[in-house]
Structure 1
């Protein structure tokens, strides 16, 4: 139910609706002039303290990553890089409010550049999140116990109850710390094994968290009127609740929700000085760190372009470059917000007067409207920038240019124009970070993004209503055109912005839903890329049951299938890495455009960075085993079955033979009879998509390994088609034998194949995937990992999962994780069902026997 888009979008919208209503009620007796006066009268010492508190808070945020990186990687990640990454990440998330924009993806991009794998990065992030909750529990617990009357000021509970709540909170904290001190150092979840901090590291992380939460709270505390902050415990509890509701609302930076909750909790309704303090807090704690982050990244880019030979600068640029789409999205969002906010507030009269003699009133009116519409479009296109779309980059430049010119023409807003120019410069600096994705939809809205924009627009519109509350509403305001018609311009701009957003949302909702993609003939470029690929499993693309996305320059392709409601890839793209990344985004765009689910099925960790950029869940589905042929032999206890089978087959006169693919048509009838007989005695039906099936055209693409019976007949008793990966990797797909023949023939055939591959100079023998192998069954593992472990242990009734892993384990292979990538939540279960529909024809096909 929670996964339904109406629910996901409706709950945040309900929260913001309540927040806007509360803000409106609380500010009925406040006017804009009073707020401006309070801003002008702000105490300089308080401003300095707020800045210092912000610095302290961000030092705590930076220390999360420093401590975690040192604990998990030693000196692999320099402390300076870890500190900058942590601080910059939180500067972006504080502004945007979208954790998926600045959490895992940002850190993975930076740390992957230093050689860290996905599991280590996730472990590092878990350290940071755990530290925050430890620090929050300690701070709140101490305040409740030693300085009560915090909860009682909000929930009207007695002091003893409040002290008891604090004791319970501190007790739980002590239990957690004891677990770190005396418990196991590792837990398994989401298919990964995570290291827990030591007691010393936990204490250090908790201390950093206390600095973080205290700094962020003190930055607002010193700005608020003294009579509202006499009880710090009450203030802190209200502050924490305000942040929590702001995060849950999905509003960028929690705007509107945070303010409404805090004013209500502190009883600050009708206080212009409290509103002014909140505005200053937004500028200092949210705006200042974000501006410094953007400035710092821009300076690194400029310096590295000026002197690419400096190794230190080159390293910094290599780490910064991948974060550009994240920050560009934030820049576009901030620029759009500035344009909308400016359009909702009165113009500076002295500047407007200067325009009277040079600019016609019609141009001023049109510029005001254009600036607000450009601001709205920037909010929408920010999503496309995050998705690295070149089309979004071009549109953002255009909208920023419109905003720049309109800012000057509508009222000589030079500061606003300078911000637009700075945003354009930033996007130009990082042009290579945005890729051309054919048929992309840069103005398409997802539910979460749409809800966030609506929330932001509602908050900004409330600011306009608040600014013009002294103007009596009348219908004539909509049509009034005059130099003093700020309220009229606000109404028209708000309506235009809402109309633009509604049209884009409607277009995204009804979209062009594509028909079901039919299987395509295999293009010649796909055959070429398959033959050049070192991955033997790329040959499955030749099965004839897939569609293809192909790079315009034919450098890469992505094979996929269509269930009618979902697009599912057969593994990851094959070809050049950069072209492959573009195809991943193009596939996502195509699914969005057609209104279908999308699944990246059976992928490795190669493109995890891109999947995280998309905000998707990366779930371990199993493991792929590969034999190192250079060191492989049939000696040793674990290989005795294959050694025995090979030796016995030789003694009894069985012969191993490789049939070249141009000779395969001559033996297809014999192979078909073996295959049909084999299927009749096996559970399940002929599979497809990621598993080969008996098909004359498909098998004619490969050399075939066969085992012939002794005697003059020399009939074929077993066969396997050979998949080759550019003389690097070898694998087999169909491997079948005639029922009733000697029980050692399959082991003999496999043993001969392994030794043949070694003799031919192949480096690896790909044993294929072991589904659900390696999935975690720990009590702390995710529900999907537990389910995978359950299927692996008890699913033999339907498919020999555990037996498959045991068979492959005899060769002592190198195991690597195999992932399913899709939207989180129940989307994971849907993804597995979608993939199974293409492979087995649905759940019935998984267990049904071939007639």
Structure 2
């Protein structure tokens, strides 16, 4: 029998394995759970609408007054106007000033996409990141904007719902079968919490929870934002309220029900809360309003509040692409943002139209339209058009993701599918509204053709778990609609083989079967396709090509490719490359891509896609602000990593009071007998043994091992490839540093710096000064002193969590790494500090990505522990 400790060890092992399983497959498990929720919601809707018939819903739609539709459009405009001020308040809160037209377009587009595609914080956040990075906001500032609007909406929704519960609990309680006292207790608790936060935040005070300090908005900001949120939620609720038939339910009661429905839709993680929102509304109002009327109003609400703003956003950006508007002062400013937003807007609109085509394939055609078609179009053509229309809809759903990635192949698939679907819509049902939407999509695609020039195969794009889940939700939704529409039709096998103009149910069955089979095949192909092989170190030929590119550009750090320990991905023309390595499930690119700047956007995309195809996350390590916009376009999120110290050699002179300490150090080093010399690459071999002795002594004295990836190691070929600066004492080499340079002579830097244990004190400072003077005399413009990790992180309470953690580690992490000492050393040379970032694909965890980068540099966990 195993002992007690053995049993505990077995349990710990099982728990650890289980945690590892959930951590590895959490995205897939979340997608499966979301699909399960949607299936349950679909079943609930079928039960709640058991007595409702499709014809009744159509009639309710037809009975909707034009005045109600116009009012709904008016309140939609008011709601989106309020949504624009979410972003305006957020930008004001972080202390920035941006042109209002660009902010308005960005906010409007973000909410149009977020409301339609769902996952507003992610989909809308991606829109904001692309646009605001172009307007000059840093990743930290954009993160604060996204956090502000997300929290503001959540708190506003909670506040409006709580106040409504307090005011009309007696009226709401019978609708949802809950005690009015319980509703008042819930509403009062929420109001008390919100009021407490407002009081605590008066004057911009910080709220400390444990070690975390959060600066709450001041009372004025709280009040202003709550009014905006309340106005937005009230206006959006009124959109649906005016579409409902006359009812005994008062507007305040409906506002509370609406707030609850929206909140549950957001929490469900189902795209756009589809089905969840409808279920809550139907369950709450079903006893007071005819359910068929409620369903008709919900369909109109989705069209007016979700589809119309997306149409307007696409139209606004398309207008700026037309030449005759390009010179307008406002349009020219908006146009720069539109270039960033258009692919995502068209992607969402394409997804929406694909879903529309699929759903329309399981709904009946009006009898008058069928009667007209029967006189002019043969039955086989109608049957074929109906079936193919659903497949073209599925093609649009799948290709929508490629549009977001600017693939030319996706553009062609969407153009051809939309054109074919437009013809099919007329042949199957004379669906003029459907045809107009498809025509509008074709117009938008043609206007923005120049934005889709990425030559990549659409078939090679691996669909993520979220996209597969979205496709599954669409298929389940089509099945639910089919069962609802034809609930009175008794199923029989003969239905599959019935072909007649009046046979609507058989056409719907065949369409659902077609999209289910093909979508299942797409999912299986995406999930079971062979993963790409593990990246291999570059070949000798690839290294020679990369070194040739390095010599022509300005960044000296690019010489680290000479180590040969990294894989290399070249651009299509071979004029630029990315050097990268793999650790765990991270593909980590070092620095910005090297080479021609025009090749950088495509290289970023290719790297992200290759990592995703291998089932890994893409990570860019130590990148400059210049690359952030390209990373944003590829869907990466950036986090500040530290600051790079760069000294201007053109103004470098050891004169003046600020250089006094270094002058004294240099004078003392010379008195100690230190002599500086630069060994050219062709002569380094003659002193290699002496350099190796110094290096080995340094490693032994520091109990360290060689690093890699972002740092060089002492390898003879690498050391001999560039000049080496040495310090001699009595003819013996006591210190050295290899100098990395390029033919452009813009920047020089050093990599390895090694000292003998008996080197005089101050040798490091003296070696730095001598190398800087050497580079200045050789005509170099800048000296790169390297990055100070976690330096320059924001300490303000409004800073993102990542920055606050980084600044805390920087201040108190000397036990693990001398962060402050490293910055202090570099500061001696009075450099300019430039931010450097870590960019992670998708919703990847930056801490995991940073840990993988650390392990890759240190050569694994043992290397990190041993320094």
Query: In 1, Cα distance between the equivalents of 2:562 and 2:214?
Result: 39
Tell me which residue corresponds to 2:69. 47
Write the mapping of 1:749-764 to structure 2, written as runs, cut at 5 A.
749-764=767-782
TM-score, scaled to structure 2: 0.90
CA deviation map 1:492-532 (0-9, x unaligned): 11111111111111111112212222111344442233223
Tell me which residue corresponds to 2:14. none
Query: In 1, Cα distance between the equivalents of 2:331 and 2:415?
Result: 27
* 1:803 equivalenced with 2:821 (yes/no): yes
Query: In 2, Cα distance between the equivalents of 1:824 and 1:392?
Result: 20
Aligned counterpart for 2:342 among listed residues 308, 324, 328:
324
Give the C-alpha shift of residue 56 in structure 1: 1.6
Tell me which residue corresponds to 2:51. 29
Query: In 2, Cα distance between the equivalents of 1:575 and 1:228?
Result: 69
Tell me which residue corresponds to 1:58. 80
Query: In 2, Cα distance between the equivalents of 1:165 and 1:630?
Result: 67
Distance of aligned partners of 1:18 and 1:476 in 2 relative to their CA distance in 1, 3 Å threshold:
same
Tell me which residue corresponds to 2:566. 546
Contact residue 204 and residue 218 of structure 2 kept, 8 A: no
Query: In 2, Cα distance between the equivalents of 1:696 and 1:242?
Result: 68
Give the C-alpha shift of residue 681 in structure 1: 1.5
* 1:723 equivalenced with 2:744 (yes/no): no
Tell me which residue corresponds to 2:13. none
Query: In 1, Cα distance between the equivalents of 2:689 and 2:54?
Result: 87
SS in structure 2 at match of 1:560? strand
SS in structure 2 at match of 1:382? helix
Tell me which residue corresponds to 2:109. 88
* 1:257 equivalenced with 2:242 (yes/no): no
Query: In 2, Cα distance between the equivalents of 1:653 and 1:616?
Result: 52
Contact residue 645 and residue 747 of structure 1 kept, 8 A: yes
Tell me which residue corresponds to 2:607. 587
Aligned counterpart for 2:839 among listed residues 815, 821, 827:
821
Contact residue 602 and residue 621 of structure 1 kept, 8 A: yes
* 1:115 equivalenced with 2:136 (yes/no): yes
Tell me which residue corresponds to 1:17. 39
Give the C-alpha shift of residue 276 in structure 1: 0.9
Give the C-alpha shift of residue 720 in structure 1: 0.8
Query: In 2, Cα distance between the equivalents of 1:211 and 1:512?
Result: 51
Tell me which residue corresponds to 1:770. 788
Contact residue 389 and residue 442 of structure 1 kept, 8 A: no
SS in structure 2 at match of 1:384? helix
SS in structure 2 at match of 1:839? helix
Contact residue 385 and residue 424 of structure 2 kept, 8 A: yes
Query: In 2, Cα distance between the equivalents of 1:755 and 1:693?
Result: 25
* 1:830 equivalenced with 2:844 (yes/no): no
SS in structure 2 at match of 1:149? helix
Query: In 1, Cα distance between the equivalents of 2:227 and 2:160?
Result: 10
Query: In 1, Cα distance between the equivalents of 2:586 and 2:107?
Result: 37
Tell me which residue corresponds to 1:170. 191
Query: In 1, Cα distance between the equivalents of 2:328 and 2:387?
Result: 47
* 1:487 equivalenced with 2:508 (yes/no): no
Write the mapping of 1:468-507 to structure 2, written as runs, cut at 5 A.
468-507=486-525
Query: In 1, Cα distance between the equivalents of 2:357 and 2:458?
Result: 26
Give the C-alpha shift of residue 799 in structure 1: 4.1
Write the mapping of 1:653-802 to structure 2, written as runs, cut at 5 A.
653-710=673-730, 714-724=731-741, 726-775=744-793, 788=806, 792=810, 796=814, 799-802=817-820
Q: Which is further off, 15-24 or 198-207? A: 198-207
Tell me which residue corresponds to 1:183. 204
Aligned counterpart for 1:280 among listed residues 300, 308, 318:
300
Q: Which is further off, 330-339 or 437-446? A: 437-446
CA deviation map 1:229-271 (0-9, x unaligned): 23x4443333222222322344332221211122123345971
Query: In 2, Cα distance between the equivalents of 1:206 and 1:176?
Result: 13
Tell me which residue corresponds to 2:382. 364
Contact residue 187 and residue 778 of structure 1 kept, 8 A: no
Aligned counterpart for 2:645 among listed residues 625, 646, 662:
625
CA deviation map 1:74-97 (0-9, x unaligned): 6x4232332333223212211111
Tell me which residue corresponds to 1:131. 152
Contact residue 560 and residue 570 of structure 1 kept, 8 A: yes
Contact residue 706 and residue 718 of structure 1 kept, 8 A: yes
Contact residue 61 and residue 87 of structure 1 kept, 8 A: yes
Contact residue 65 and residue 128 of structure 1 kept, 8 A: yes
CA deviation map 1:123-161 (0-9, x unaligned): 333443343244334423432333333664566555455
Give the C-alpha shift of residue 734 in structure 1: 0.5
SS in structure 2 at match of 1:655? strand
Tell me which residue corresponds to 2:485. 467
Write the mapping of 1:436-451 to structure 2, written as runs, cut at 5 A.
436-438=454-456, 441=459, 444-451=462-469
Query: In 2, Cα distance between the equivalents of 1:272 and 1:290?
Result: 27
Give the C-alpha shift of residue 787 in structure 1: 5.6
Query: In 2, Cα distance between the equivalents of 1:637 and 1:171?
Result: 59
* 1:415 equivalenced with 2:433 (yes/no): yes
Contact residue 156 and residue 229 of structure 2 kept, 8 A: yes
Give the C-alpha shift of residue 293 in structure 1: 1.6
Give the C-alpha shift of residue 552 in structure 1: 1.1
CA deviation map 1:433-466 (0-9, x unaligned): 2242445646531011111221233223312221
Give the C-alpha shift of residue 310 in structure 1: 4.1
Write the mapping of 1:519-558 to structure 2, written as runs, cut at 5 A.
519-520=537-538, 521=540, 522-558=542-578
Q: Which is further off, 390-399 or 761-770? A: 761-770
SS in structure 1 at match of 2:621? strand
Q: Structure 2 unaligned runs (5+)?
A: 1-21
Write the mapping of 1:212-291 to structure 2, written as runs, cut at 5 A.
212-227=232-247, 229-230=249-250, 232-268=251-287, 271-291=291-311
TM-score, scaled to structure 1: 0.91
Distance of aligned partners of 1:581 and 1:179 in 2 relative to their CA distance in 1, 3 Å threshold:
farther
SS in structure 2 at match of 1:572? coil
Give the C-alpha shift of residue 792 in structure 1: 4.2
Contact residue 354 and residue 394 of structure 2 kept, 8 A: yes
Tell me which residue corresponds to 2:6. none
SS in structure 2 at match of 1:227? coil
SS in structure 2 at match of 1:733? strand
Distance of aligned partners of 1:59 and 1:762 in 2 relative to their CA distance in 1, 3 Å threshold:
same
Query: In 1, Cα distance between the equivalents of 2:843 and 2:332?
Result: 40
Contact residue 646 and residue 786 of structure 2 kept, 8 A: yes
SS in structure 2 at match of 1:237? helix
Tell me which residue corresponds to 1:561. 581
Query: In 2, Cα distance between the equivalents of 1:172 and 1:813?
Result: 48
Give the C-alpha shift of residue 73 in structure 1: 5.7
Query: In 1, Cα distance between the equivalents of 2:173 and 2:659?
Result: 71
Tell me which residue corresponds to 1:292. 312
Q: Which is further off, 80-89 or 462-471? A: 80-89
Query: In 2, Cα distance between the equivalents of 1:308 and 1:614?
Result: 26
Aligned counterpart for 1:145 among listed residues 154, 166, 188:
166
Distance of aligned partners of 1:826 and 1:413 in 2 relative to their CA distance in 1, 3 Å threshold:
closer
SS in structure 2 at match of 1:531? helix
Q: Which is further off, 453-462 or 9-18? A: 453-462
Contact residue 250 and residue 452 of structure 1 kept, 8 A: no
Give the C-alpha shift of residue 300 in structure 1: 2.2
Contact residue 251 and residue 456 of structure 1 kept, 8 A: no
Query: In 1, Cα distance between the equivalents of 2:642 and 2:208?
Result: 18
Tell me which residue corresponds to 1:8. 30
CA deviation map 1:800-846 (0-9, x unaligned): 33432332233343333332222577733432333233222211111
Tell me which residue corresponds to 2:369. 351
